[in-house]
Structure 1
Amino acid sequence: MIELDSVAYNYGGGELLTDISLDLAPGSFHFLTGPSGAGKTTFLKLCYGALVPTAGQVRLFKRDVRQMTRDQVAMSRRRIGVVHQDCRFLDHLPLSENVALPLVVSGAEAGQEGNLRELMAWVGLSGRADALPPELSGGERQRAALARAVIMSPEVILADEPTGNVDWDMSQRLLQLLVELNRMGKTILIATHDLQLIRAAKVQVQARVLRIKDRRLQTAGADL
Protein backbone atom coordinates (compact mmCIF):
# COMPACT_ATOMS: atom_id res chain seq x y z
CA MET A 1 0.00 0.00 0.00
CA ILE A 2 2.86 2.33 0.90
CA GLU A 3 6.39 1.37 -0.13
CA LEU A 4 9.68 3.11 0.59
CA ASP A 5 12.68 1.87 -1.37
CA SER A 6 16.17 3.10 -0.39
CA VAL A 7 14.69 6.48 0.58
CA ALA A 8 16.81 9.39 1.81
CA TYR A 9 15.71 12.85 2.86
CA ASN A 10 17.89 15.92 3.31
CA TYR A 11 16.90 18.80 5.56
CA GLY A 12 18.81 21.99 6.32
CA GLY A 13 21.82 20.89 4.31
CA GLY A 14 22.20 17.58 6.13
CA GLU A 15 20.75 14.10 5.68
CA LEU A 16 17.97 13.39 8.19
CA LEU A 17 17.05 9.93 6.85
CA THR A 18 19.12 7.58 4.74
CA ASP A 19 18.59 4.24 2.96
CA ILE A 20 15.08 3.70 4.36
CA SER A 21 13.10 0.75 2.99
CA LEU A 22 9.69 -0.39 4.21
CA ASP A 23 6.57 -2.05 2.85
CA LEU A 24 3.32 -1.29 4.68
CA ALA A 25 1.27 -4.33 3.71
CA PRO A 26 -2.55 -4.37 3.89
CA GLY A 27 -3.78 -5.05 7.41
CA SER A 28 -0.37 -4.67 9.05
CA PHE A 29 0.29 -2.85 12.33
CA HIS A 30 3.55 -0.96 12.83
CA PHE A 31 5.05 1.20 15.54
CA LEU A 32 7.77 3.71 14.73
CA THR A 33 9.94 4.86 17.61
CA GLY A 34 13.14 6.81 18.13
CA PRO A 35 14.35 9.86 20.06
CA SER A 36 12.99 13.36 19.51
CA GLY A 37 14.48 14.82 16.34
CA ALA A 38 15.22 11.41 14.83
CA GLY A 39 12.86 12.07 11.91
CA LYS A 40 9.65 10.25 12.84
CA THR A 41 7.35 13.05 11.63
CA THR A 42 9.40 13.45 8.45
CA PHE A 43 9.10 9.70 7.87
CA LEU A 44 5.31 9.90 8.16
CA LYS A 45 5.17 12.86 5.77
CA LEU A 46 7.10 10.81 3.21
CA CYS A 47 4.57 8.01 3.70
CA TYR A 48 1.59 10.18 2.72
CA GLY A 49 3.22 12.25 -0.01
CA ALA A 50 3.58 15.54 1.89
CA LEU A 51 7.33 15.33 1.25
CA VAL A 52 9.22 13.99 -1.76
CA PRO A 53 12.38 11.98 -1.00
CA THR A 54 15.79 13.35 -1.87
CA ALA A 55 16.76 9.89 -3.13
CA GLY A 56 15.02 6.56 -3.57
CA GLN A 57 11.35 5.89 -4.28
CA VAL A 58 8.12 6.32 -2.36
CA ARG A 59 5.18 4.48 -3.91
CA LEU A 60 1.62 5.15 -2.83
CA PHE A 61 -0.64 2.30 -3.90
CA LYS A 62 1.99 1.19 -6.44
CA ARG A 63 2.55 4.65 -8.00
CA ASP A 64 5.81 6.57 -7.65
CA VAL A 65 5.16 9.89 -5.90
CA ARG A 66 7.60 11.69 -8.23
CA GLN A 67 5.58 10.66 -11.27
CA MET A 68 2.21 11.66 -9.84
CA THR A 69 0.46 14.96 -10.45
CA ARG A 70 -0.72 17.03 -7.50
CA ASP A 71 -4.28 15.83 -8.10
CA GLN A 72 -3.14 12.20 -8.18
CA VAL A 73 -1.29 12.63 -4.88
CA ALA A 74 -4.40 14.24 -3.40
CA MET A 75 -6.53 11.29 -4.53
CA SER A 76 -4.09 8.82 -2.99
CA ARG A 77 -4.07 10.78 0.24
CA ARG A 78 -7.83 10.31 0.54
CA ARG A 79 -7.02 6.64 1.09
CA ILE A 80 -4.69 7.58 3.98
CA GLY A 81 -5.93 9.00 7.28
CA VAL A 82 -3.44 11.08 9.24
CA VAL A 83 -3.66 11.86 12.96
CA HIS A 84 -1.43 14.89 13.36
CA GLN A 85 0.52 15.57 16.52
CA ASP A 86 -0.78 19.12 16.90
CA CYS A 87 -4.52 18.34 16.41
CA ARG A 88 -5.50 21.61 14.73
CA PHE A 89 -9.19 22.50 14.54
CA LEU A 90 -11.26 25.46 13.43
CA ASP A 91 -12.20 27.02 16.75
CA HIS A 92 -15.37 28.70 15.46
CA LEU A 93 -16.93 25.43 14.29
CA PRO A 94 -18.55 22.83 16.57
CA LEU A 95 -16.73 19.55 16.98
CA SER A 96 -19.02 17.55 14.68
CA GLU A 97 -18.35 19.98 11.82
CA ASN A 98 -14.62 19.84 12.44
CA VAL A 99 -14.71 16.04 12.24
CA ALA A 100 -16.77 16.24 9.02
CA LEU A 101 -14.43 18.71 7.27
CA PRO A 102 -12.77 16.06 5.03
CA LEU A 103 -16.24 15.13 3.74
CA VAL A 104 -17.03 18.77 3.00
CA VAL A 105 -13.72 19.36 1.22
CA SER A 106 -14.18 16.25 -0.92
CA GLY A 107 -17.81 17.07 -1.69
CA ALA A 108 -18.97 13.80 -0.13
CA GLU A 109 -20.89 15.16 2.87
CA ALA A 110 -24.37 14.56 1.41
CA GLY A 111 -26.11 11.68 3.14
CA GLN A 112 -23.29 11.12 5.63
CA GLU A 113 -25.09 12.36 8.76
CA GLY A 114 -25.70 8.84 10.02
CA ASN A 115 -22.10 7.79 9.52
CA LEU A 116 -20.91 10.92 11.32
CA ARG A 117 -23.14 10.17 14.32
CA GLU A 118 -21.87 6.57 14.44
CA LEU A 119 -18.28 7.74 14.27
CA MET A 120 -18.76 10.30 17.04
CA ALA A 121 -20.30 7.57 19.19
CA TRP A 122 -17.43 5.17 18.39
CA VAL A 123 -14.85 7.62 19.75
CA GLY A 124 -17.08 8.45 22.72
CA LEU A 125 -17.85 12.04 21.74
CA SER A 126 -21.59 11.98 21.00
CA GLY A 127 -22.27 14.28 23.93
CA ARG A 128 -19.64 16.77 22.73
CA ALA A 129 -20.78 17.15 19.12
CA ASP A 130 -21.80 20.79 19.61
CA ALA A 131 -18.79 21.79 21.73
CA LEU A 132 -16.22 24.20 20.32
CA PRO A 133 -12.59 22.99 20.14
CA PRO A 134 -11.32 25.33 22.92
CA GLU A 135 -13.80 23.64 25.29
CA LEU A 136 -12.32 20.17 24.76
CA SER A 137 -9.92 18.30 26.99
CA GLY A 138 -6.69 16.88 25.59
CA GLY A 139 -8.16 13.40 25.36
CA GLU A 140 -11.27 14.66 23.60
CA ARG A 141 -9.13 16.52 21.07
CA GLN A 142 -7.09 13.40 20.35
CA ARG A 143 -10.20 11.27 19.87
CA ALA A 144 -11.68 13.96 17.62
CA ALA A 145 -8.45 13.99 15.60
CA LEU A 146 -8.73 10.22 15.14
CA ALA A 147 -12.38 10.52 14.11
CA ARG A 148 -11.51 13.17 11.52
CA ALA A 149 -8.68 10.97 10.18
CA VAL A 150 -11.00 8.02 9.56
CA ILE A 151 -14.16 9.84 8.41
CA MET A 152 -13.31 9.06 4.77
CA SER A 153 -12.85 5.32 5.53
CA PRO A 154 -9.14 5.29 4.62
CA GLU A 155 -7.23 2.08 4.07
CA VAL A 156 -4.17 3.31 5.98
CA ILE A 157 -3.99 5.31 9.24
CA LEU A 158 -0.78 7.13 10.14
CA ALA A 159 -0.72 8.54 13.68
CA ASP A 160 1.98 10.94 14.89
CA GLU A 161 2.35 10.71 18.70
CA PRO A 162 -1.42 10.26 19.16
CA THR A 163 -1.06 9.72 22.92
CA GLY A 164 1.64 12.32 23.56
CA ASN A 165 -0.58 14.79 25.44
CA VAL A 166 -2.96 12.52 27.37
CA ASP A 167 -2.82 10.41 30.53
CA TRP A 168 -2.31 6.66 30.57
CA ASP A 169 -6.01 5.75 30.74
CA MET A 170 -6.75 7.89 27.67
CA SER A 171 -3.69 6.44 25.92
CA GLN A 172 -5.21 3.00 26.41
CA ARG A 173 -8.54 4.18 25.01
CA LEU A 174 -6.90 5.63 21.91
CA LEU A 175 -4.80 2.50 21.46
CA GLN A 176 -7.93 0.33 21.66
CA LEU A 177 -9.58 2.39 18.91
CA LEU A 178 -6.54 1.93 16.67
CA VAL A 179 -6.45 -1.81 17.40
CA GLU A 180 -10.15 -2.01 16.48
CA LEU A 181 -9.41 -0.28 13.18
CA ASN A 182 -6.66 -2.79 12.48
CA ARG A 183 -9.05 -5.67 13.17
CA MET A 184 -11.34 -4.11 10.56
CA GLY A 185 -8.51 -4.55 8.04
CA LYS A 186 -6.91 -1.10 8.22
CA THR A 187 -3.15 -0.69 7.98
CA ILE A 188 -1.82 1.17 11.04
CA LEU A 189 1.47 3.01 11.60
CA ILE A 190 1.93 4.82 14.93
CA ALA A 191 4.92 7.04 15.62
CA THR A 192 5.54 7.21 19.35
CA HIS A 193 8.27 7.47 21.96
CA ASP A 194 6.05 5.73 24.55
CA LEU A 195 7.54 2.25 24.97
CA GLN A 196 4.94 1.38 27.61
CA LEU A 197 2.23 1.92 25.02
CA ILE A 198 4.02 -0.36 22.58
CA ARG A 199 4.32 -3.11 25.20
CA ALA A 200 0.59 -2.79 25.96
CA ALA A 201 -0.27 -3.03 22.26
CA LYS A 202 1.78 -6.15 21.64
CA VAL A 203 -0.50 -8.04 24.03
CA GLN A 204 -3.48 -7.16 21.83
CA VAL A 205 -2.18 -7.17 18.27
CA GLN A 206 0.68 -8.57 16.20
CA ALA A 207 2.72 -5.42 15.75
CA ARG A 208 6.10 -4.83 14.14
CA VAL A 209 8.23 -2.28 15.97
CA LEU A 210 10.60 -0.08 13.98
CA ARG A 211 13.19 2.36 15.29
CA ILE A 212 14.94 5.27 13.60
CA LYS A 213 18.53 5.35 14.78
CA ASP A 214 21.52 7.07 13.16
CA ARG A 215 19.24 8.15 10.26
CA ARG A 216 18.37 4.54 9.41
CA LEU A 217 15.35 2.32 10.02
CA GLN A 218 15.91 -0.70 12.24
CA THR A 219 13.71 -3.48 13.58
CA ALA A 220 13.49 -3.06 17.34
CA GLY A 221 14.19 -6.20 19.33
CA ALA A 222 13.25 -7.64 22.70
CA ASP A 223 14.91 -4.71 24.52
CA LEU A 224 11.54 -2.94 24.32
Structure 2
Amino acid sequence: MIELEQVAYGYGTGTLLSGVTMSLAQGSFHFLTGPSGAGKTTLMKLCYGELVAEQGSVALFGQNVREMQRDDVADVRRRIGVVHQDCQFLDHLSLAENIMLPLTVSGRALHDPSELQELLAWVGLERQAHAKPPELSGGERQRAALARAVIMSPDVILADEPTGNVDWEMSVRLLQLLVELNRMGKTVMIATHDMNLIRSAKSQVQARVLRISNHQVASAGADL
Protein backbone atom coordinates (compact mmCIF):
# COMPACT_ATOMS: atom_id res chain seq x y z
CA MET A 1 0.00 0.00 0.00
CA ILE A 2 2.62 2.53 1.12
CA GLU A 3 6.38 2.07 0.75
CA LEU A 4 9.23 4.35 1.78
CA GLU A 5 12.79 3.61 0.66
CA GLN A 6 15.76 5.47 2.14
CA VAL A 7 13.62 8.58 2.66
CA ALA A 8 15.06 11.80 4.08
CA TYR A 9 13.28 15.01 5.03
CA GLY A 10 14.17 18.11 7.01
CA TYR A 11 13.20 21.69 7.71
CA GLY A 12 15.67 24.51 7.11
CA THR A 13 19.16 23.21 7.74
CA GLY A 14 18.06 20.48 10.17
CA THR A 15 17.49 16.83 9.29
CA LEU A 16 14.32 15.38 10.78
CA LEU A 17 14.12 12.01 9.05
CA SER A 18 16.97 10.17 7.33
CA GLY A 19 17.31 6.74 5.75
CA VAL A 20 13.70 5.78 6.53
CA THR A 21 12.67 2.49 4.94
CA MET A 22 9.27 1.03 5.82
CA SER A 23 6.15 -0.41 4.25
CA LEU A 24 2.49 -0.65 5.19
CA ALA A 25 1.02 -3.84 3.77
CA GLN A 26 -2.65 -4.34 3.02
CA GLY A 27 -4.61 -5.09 6.17
CA SER A 28 -1.71 -4.33 8.53
CA PHE A 29 -1.95 -2.36 11.77
CA HIS A 30 0.91 -0.17 12.98
CA PHE A 31 1.57 2.18 15.86
CA LEU A 32 4.10 4.96 15.25
CA THR A 33 5.81 6.27 18.37
CA GLY A 34 8.58 8.66 19.29
CA PRO A 35 9.08 11.80 21.38
CA SER A 36 7.47 15.12 20.49
CA GLY A 37 9.31 16.70 17.58
CA ALA A 38 10.75 13.40 16.38
CA GLY A 39 8.88 13.62 13.07
CA LYS A 40 5.71 11.54 13.49
CA THR A 41 3.47 14.09 11.76
CA THR A 42 6.05 14.66 9.03
CA LEU A 43 6.25 10.93 8.37
CA MET A 44 2.47 10.78 8.18
CA LYS A 45 2.46 13.57 5.60
CA LEU A 46 5.04 11.71 3.53
CA CYS A 47 2.77 8.65 3.67
CA TYR A 48 -0.16 10.45 2.08
CA GLY A 49 1.68 12.70 -0.34
CA GLU A 50 1.29 16.01 1.48
CA LEU A 51 5.10 16.25 1.54
CA VAL A 52 7.61 14.98 -1.04
CA ALA A 53 10.79 13.33 0.22
CA GLU A 54 14.02 15.27 -0.27
CA GLN A 55 15.86 12.00 -0.82
CA GLY A 56 14.74 8.44 -1.43
CA SER A 57 11.38 7.37 -2.80
CA VAL A 58 7.80 7.09 -1.60
CA ALA A 59 5.38 4.83 -3.47
CA LEU A 60 1.64 5.02 -2.85
CA PHE A 61 -0.25 2.05 -4.25
CA GLY A 62 2.64 1.31 -6.58
CA GLN A 63 3.05 4.87 -7.88
CA ASN A 64 6.12 6.97 -7.16
CA VAL A 65 4.99 10.25 -5.61
CA ARG A 66 7.54 12.26 -7.62
CA GLU A 67 6.11 10.95 -10.88
CA MET A 68 2.47 11.59 -10.07
CA GLN A 69 0.40 14.17 -11.90
CA ARG A 70 -2.17 16.26 -10.03
CA ASP A 71 -5.02 13.89 -10.93
CA ASP A 72 -2.94 10.91 -9.79
CA VAL A 73 -2.35 12.54 -6.40
CA ALA A 74 -6.06 13.29 -6.01
CA ASP A 75 -6.99 9.69 -6.85
CA VAL A 76 -4.45 8.30 -4.40
CA ARG A 77 -5.54 10.60 -1.58
CA ARG A 78 -9.10 9.36 -1.94
CA ARG A 79 -7.76 5.95 -0.99
CA ILE A 80 -6.13 7.30 2.19
CA GLY A 81 -8.23 8.63 5.05
CA VAL A 82 -6.40 10.95 7.43
CA VAL A 83 -7.41 11.83 10.99
CA HIS A 84 -5.47 15.02 11.72
CA GLN A 85 -4.24 15.92 15.16
CA ASP A 86 -6.15 19.23 15.18
CA CYS A 87 -9.28 17.84 13.41
CA GLN A 88 -10.27 21.17 11.85
CA PHE A 89 -13.90 21.74 10.92
CA LEU A 90 -15.88 24.51 9.26
CA ASP A 91 -17.82 26.07 12.13
CA HIS A 92 -20.68 27.35 9.96
CA LEU A 93 -21.53 23.83 8.76
CA SER A 94 -23.30 21.14 10.73
CA LEU A 95 -21.48 18.05 11.92
CA ALA A 96 -23.09 15.98 9.16
CA GLU A 97 -22.10 18.53 6.51
CA ASN A 98 -18.51 18.56 7.80
CA ILE A 99 -18.32 14.78 7.63
CA MET A 100 -19.68 14.89 4.08
CA LEU A 101 -17.09 17.46 2.92
CA PRO A 102 -14.74 14.95 1.23
CA LEU A 103 -17.63 13.76 -0.93
CA THR A 104 -18.77 17.32 -1.63
CA VAL A 105 -15.29 18.45 -2.70
CA SER A 106 -14.83 15.44 -4.98
CA GLY A 107 -18.24 15.90 -6.57
CA ARG A 108 -19.48 12.54 -5.36
CA ALA A 109 -22.60 11.57 -3.48
CA LEU A 110 -23.60 8.71 -1.22
CA HIS A 111 -25.38 5.92 -3.05
CA ASP A 112 -27.87 5.71 -0.21
CA PRO A 113 -28.64 8.56 2.26
CA SER A 114 -28.91 5.96 5.02
CA GLU A 115 -25.14 5.39 4.69
CA LEU A 116 -24.50 8.68 6.49
CA GLN A 117 -26.87 7.73 9.30
CA GLU A 118 -25.11 4.37 9.62
CA LEU A 119 -21.71 6.10 9.78
CA LEU A 120 -22.94 8.56 12.43
CA ALA A 121 -24.35 5.66 14.44
CA TRP A 122 -21.06 3.76 14.13
CA VAL A 123 -19.17 6.63 15.78
CA GLY A 124 -22.03 7.33 18.20
CA LEU A 125 -22.93 10.78 16.86
CA GLU A 126 -26.40 10.33 15.37
CA ARG A 127 -27.90 12.81 17.89
CA GLN A 128 -25.26 15.44 17.05
CA ALA A 129 -25.81 15.36 13.26
CA HIS A 130 -27.15 18.93 13.16
CA ALA A 131 -24.84 20.40 15.82
CA LYS A 132 -22.14 22.88 14.86
CA PRO A 133 -18.49 22.03 15.65
CA PRO A 134 -18.15 24.58 18.52
CA GLU A 135 -20.96 22.73 20.33
CA LEU A 136 -19.06 19.42 20.33
CA SER A 137 -16.83 17.98 23.04
CA GLY A 138 -13.26 16.92 22.31
CA GLY A 139 -14.25 13.27 22.07
CA GLU A 140 -17.14 14.06 19.74
CA ARG A 141 -14.83 16.07 17.48
CA GLN A 142 -12.33 13.21 17.30
CA ARG A 143 -15.04 10.70 16.42
CA ALA A 144 -16.36 13.11 13.80
CA ALA A 145 -12.85 13.43 12.37
CA LEU A 146 -12.66 9.65 12.08
CA ALA A 147 -16.05 9.52 10.36
CA ARG A 148 -14.92 12.18 7.89
CA ALA A 149 -11.71 10.23 7.21
CA VAL A 150 -13.55 7.03 6.31
CA ILE A 151 -16.59 8.37 4.45
CA MET A 152 -14.84 7.81 1.10
CA SER A 153 -14.21 4.17 2.10
CA PRO A 154 -10.40 4.48 1.91
CA ASP A 155 -8.02 1.53 1.85
CA VAL A 156 -5.66 3.13 4.40
CA ILE A 157 -6.40 5.15 7.55
CA LEU A 158 -3.63 7.29 9.04
CA ALA A 159 -4.47 8.74 12.46
CA ASP A 160 -2.15 11.39 13.92
CA GLU A 161 -2.47 11.46 17.73
CA PRO A 162 -6.23 10.78 17.57
CA THR A 163 -6.44 10.35 21.36
CA GLY A 164 -4.17 13.24 22.34
CA ASN A 165 -6.96 15.52 23.56
CA VAL A 166 -9.47 13.08 25.05
CA ASP A 167 -9.81 11.10 28.26
CA TRP A 168 -8.88 7.44 28.63
CA GLU A 169 -12.42 6.10 28.13
CA MET A 170 -12.73 7.96 24.83
CA SER A 171 -9.22 6.88 23.82
CA VAL A 172 -10.24 3.25 24.20
CA ARG A 173 -13.41 3.85 22.20
CA LEU A 174 -11.50 5.47 19.34
CA LEU A 175 -9.02 2.60 19.36
CA GLN A 176 -11.88 0.10 19.13
CA LEU A 177 -13.27 1.92 16.08
CA LEU A 178 -9.86 1.80 14.37
CA VAL A 179 -9.50 -1.89 15.23
CA GLU A 180 -12.93 -2.51 13.66
CA LEU A 181 -11.75 -0.82 10.47
CA ASN A 182 -8.67 -3.03 10.44
CA ARG A 183 -10.83 -6.14 10.82
CA MET A 184 -12.69 -4.97 7.71
CA GLY A 185 -9.40 -5.19 5.82
CA LYS A 186 -8.26 -1.58 6.13
CA THR A 187 -4.60 -0.72 6.67
CA VAL A 188 -4.23 1.40 9.82
CA MET A 189 -1.36 3.42 11.27
CA ILE A 190 -1.76 5.41 14.50
CA ALA A 191 0.84 7.96 15.56
CA THR A 192 0.84 8.19 19.36
CA HIS A 193 3.07 8.75 22.36
CA ASP A 194 0.58 6.96 24.64
CA MET A 195 2.15 3.61 25.50
CA ASN A 196 -0.90 2.64 27.55
CA LEU A 197 -3.00 2.88 24.41
CA ILE A 198 -0.58 0.57 22.61
CA ARG A 199 -0.64 -1.91 25.49
CA SER A 200 -4.44 -1.89 25.55
CA ALA A 201 -4.46 -2.97 21.90
CA LYS A 202 -2.65 -6.20 22.72
CA SER A 203 -5.81 -8.25 23.18
CA GLN A 204 -7.61 -6.69 20.22
CA VAL A 205 -5.30 -6.66 17.23
CA GLN A 206 -1.98 -7.94 15.94
CA ALA A 207 0.03 -4.77 15.45
CA ARG A 208 3.58 -3.66 14.85
CA VAL A 209 5.13 -0.80 16.80
CA LEU A 210 7.44 1.52 14.86
CA ARG A 211 9.57 4.02 16.73
CA ILE A 212 11.28 7.15 15.39
CA SER A 213 14.70 7.50 17.00
CA ASN A 214 17.83 9.31 15.80
CA HIS A 215 15.99 10.41 12.62
CA GLN A 216 15.20 6.82 11.63
CA VAL A 217 12.28 4.42 11.96
CA ALA A 218 12.85 1.05 13.57
CA SER A 219 10.66 -1.78 14.77
CA ALA A 220 10.14 -1.47 18.51
CA GLY A 221 9.80 -5.21 18.99
CA ALA A 222 7.69 -8.24 18.26
CA ASP A 223 4.03 -8.25 17.34
CA LEU A 224 1.68 -7.07 20.05
- Per the shorter chain, which TM-score range? over 0.9
Match of 2:151 in 1: 151
Give the gaps of 5 or more residues in structure 1: none
1:111, CA displacement in angstroms?
3.5
CA distance in 2, matches of 1:108, 1:74: 13
Match of 1:194 in 2: 194
Task: Report SS of the residue matched to 2:86.
Answer: coil
TM-score between both structures, scaled by the size of structure 2: 0.97
User: In structure 2, do the counterparts of structure 1 residues 113 and 57 end up closer, same or farther at CA, with 3 Å as the change threshold?
Assistant: same
CA distance in 2, matches of 1:149, 1:110: 15
CA distance in 1, matches of 2:165, 2:89: 16
Task: Report SS of the residue matched to 2:97.
Answer: helix
Task: Report SS of the residue matched to 1:100.
Answer: helix
1:221, CA displacement in angstroms?
2.8
Structure 1 position 182 matched with structure 2 position 182: yes
CA distance in 1, matches of 2:46, 2:202: 26
Structure 1 position 61 matched with structure 2 position 69: no
Matches within 5 A, 1:49-198: 49-198=49-198
CA distance in 2, matches of 1:35, 1:125: 32
User: In the TM superposition, what whole-angstrom CA distance separates every residue of 1:75-123 from its partner, at most 9, and x where no partner exists?
Assistant: 1000000000001000001100000000111111254421111100000
User: In the TM superposition, what whole-angstrom CA distance separates every residue of 1:151-201 from its partner, at most 9, and x where no partner exists?
Assistant: 000000000000000000000000000000000000000000000000001
CA distance in 1, matches of 2:10, 2:177: 34
Task: Report SS of the residue matched to 2:201.
Answer: helix
Percent of aligned pairs with the same amino acid = 71
Structure 1 position 34 matched with structure 2 position 34: yes
User: In the TM superposition, what whole-angstrom CA distance separates every residue of 1:111-138 from its partner, at most 9, and x where no partner exists?
Assistant: 4421111100000000000000000000
Runs of 4+ with >4 A deviation: none
1:70, CA displacement in angstroms?
1.7
1:11, CA displacement in angstroms?
1.1
